[in-house]
């Protein structure tokens, strides 16, 4: 089932009788903490209880930090924002936020970014196709970077937006209509139907610069994956070791199901995406700037005070400008 972040956040700022923890500090100790942009996950909103609690936790750890929770589409109501996670254009949402972030003065010198689940794909889109102002550390929790091979379940109880989107997707996930109007369809990558995927998809295929190779041996994705991830200082991709919401869970590390053996997973380093370095992951890895990490638990269970989520914040957020 889809677990709202509010149900998973047991952070010290909202947990009763939390044990005392040693202070968490950034790698540098002078200047102002770098700003942070946060993009919520599927079915959530920028200012839900859980997202606001997470932003407050960041501010508690790093006094003076500027935190921006992405609202997409711009100025949307919470109901419209939640619906936009199911229905619409992934590229359209990405382009909308490209414009938004460029207008925020506090971000002009660059910022760190956290994307939760689906939100990690959108913040990647920003980094690969816009990146002005630039993303410094890109952090994703449970994001299906190499797509999903099964639809993400609706929450319990299911929302109308999710129910209708699921029915429409099952009617034809790779139809032109679904690829234009259903967000999940735009990162649905069925290893048994790769030909259909490569012909119809224009979001996750292009984000990973897939589409086969042209006559010169170059990937044929949209503008070869834009800027790729070469301009990001660090990519921190976090998977959950009991994730049953994203299939496969290790898509969070760019792994995929083997089309010849659906019980096997092909890790990133065994794929052409890495070997031919379509979006810069191999180069980042060789420089020690690609970090594939794991949190214990189910999808989006980032833990409580001092646990996995806090450890990520301690290491990768709050660096001094």
Query: What is the set of active-site residues?
Result: 117, 243, 299
**CA–CA distances in Å: residue 197 to residues 67, 148, 152, 245:** 36, 12, 18, 21
Cis status, amide bond into 133, omega within 30 of 0:
yes
Long-range contacts of 159-168 (CB under 8 A, 24+ apart): 159/43, 159/82, 161/82, 161/83, 161/86, 161/87, 162/2, 162/43, 162/86, 165/86, 165/87
Looking at the DSSP bridge assignments, the partners of residue 318 are: none
**CA–CA distances in Å: residue 296 to residues 28, 249, 256, 288, 293:** 28, 12, 20, 23, 10
Strand order of the β-sheet with 36-39 is 67-69, 36-39, 111-116, 135-141, 234-240, 290-295
SS3 of residue 136 by DSSP: strand
Q: Parallel, antiparallel, or unpaired: how do β-strands 256-258 and 261-266 relate?
A: antiparallel
**Backbone CA torsion sign across 16, 18, 23, 27:** negative
Cα angle 282, 286, 292 (rounded to 5 degrees) comes to 70
How is residue 164 written in tokens? 């209708």
Cis status, amide bond into 73, omega within 30 of 0:
yes
**CA–CA distances in Å: residue 164 to residues 87, 89, 94, 104, 186:** 10, 16, 23, 35, 16
Q: Can you say how many angstroms the Cα of residue 178 is from the centroid of all Cα atoms in its chain? A: 21
How is residue 243 written in tokens? 């994730």
């Amino acid at each position: 089932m889809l677990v709202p972040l509010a149900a998973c956040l047991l952070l010290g700022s909202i947990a009763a009788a939390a044990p005392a923890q040693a202070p968490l500090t950034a790698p540098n100790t002078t200047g102002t903490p770098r700003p942070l942009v946060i993009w919520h996950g599927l079915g959530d909103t920028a200012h839900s209880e859980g997202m606001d609690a997470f932003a407050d936790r960041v501010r508690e750890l790093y006094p003076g930090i500027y935190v921006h929770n992405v609202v997409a589409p711009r100025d949307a109501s919470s109901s419209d924002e939640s619906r936009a996670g199911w229905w619409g254009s992934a590229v359209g949402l990405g382009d909308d936020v490209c414009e938004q972030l460029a207008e925020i003065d506090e971000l002009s010198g660059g910022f760190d970014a956290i994307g939760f689940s689906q939100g990690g794909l959108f913040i990647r889109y920003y980094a690969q196709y816009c990146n002005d102002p630039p993303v410094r550390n890109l952090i994703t929790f449970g994001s299906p970077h190499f797509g999903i091979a099964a639809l993400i379940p609706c929450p319990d109880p299911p929302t109308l937006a999710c129910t209708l989107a699921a029915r429409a997707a099952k009617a034809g996930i790779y139809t032109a209509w679904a690829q234009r109007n259903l967000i999940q369809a735009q990162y649905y990558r069925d290893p048994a139907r790769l030909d259909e995927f490569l012909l119809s998809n224009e979001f996750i295929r292009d984000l990973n610069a897939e589409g086969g190779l042209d006559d010169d041996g170059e990937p044929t994705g949209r503008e070869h994956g834009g800027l790729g991830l070469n301009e990001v200082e660090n990519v921190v991709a976090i998977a959950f070791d009991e994730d049953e919401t994203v299939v496969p869970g290790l898509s969070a590390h760019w792994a995929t199901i083997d089309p010849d053996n659906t019980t096997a997973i092909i890790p990133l380093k065994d794929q052409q995406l890495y070997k031919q370095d379509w979006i810069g992951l191999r180069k980042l890895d060789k420089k020690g700037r690609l970090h594939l990490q794991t949190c214990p638990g189910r999808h989006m269970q980032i833990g409580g005070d001092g646990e996995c989520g806090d450890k990520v914040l301690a290491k990768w957020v709050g660096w001094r400008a």
